[in-house]
A = this chain, B = another copy of it.
Amino acid sequence: MIYITRRERFNAAHRLFRDDYTEEQNLEVFGKCSNPNWHGHNYELFVTIKGDIDAETGFLLNLKHLSKLIKDKVIEKLDHKNINIEVDFMKDNFASTEMLAMRIWEQLNLEIRALGAELHAVKLYESENNYVEYFG
């Protein structure tokens, strides 16, 4: 079994908050990440798949196909978007990096199986100091 990882990037705006919190509560729990006027990040996404090498090609999976899938199902929906407002698969979710990584997993899991490999990990950097990993 071999593991391959593909990096893709997107830039997006978001905000951490609860509707049922007062402005003060949001500030206390989420700090400056709760700014009602939004802030944003250059996110880095690492998608790791696993499986056996195809004896015909020497590939686990053609990375062009993996890259296209990630772009179609994830990057197109997130890049230069507002995560709280505009992303279908983030509707009714917190726009935290944790939730985003889990929802990105769900966007990709079955599609990658259909390509003949298995999704192993979604790793999502919000900044150079913070990242989240989800293994399903």
Contact = CB atoms under 8 A, between A and B. Distances in A.
A16 B53 CA distance: 14
A86 B16 CA distance: 18
Contacts of A40: 11-14, 38-41
A62 to B, nearest CB: 8
A111 interface: no
Interface of A: 1-9, 11-14, 16, 18, 29-33, 35, 37-42, 48, 53, 56-60, 62-64, 79-82, 85-86, 93-99, 101-102, 127-135
Contacts of A130: 4-7, 63
A60 B98 contact: yes
Contacts of A4: 97-98, 130-133
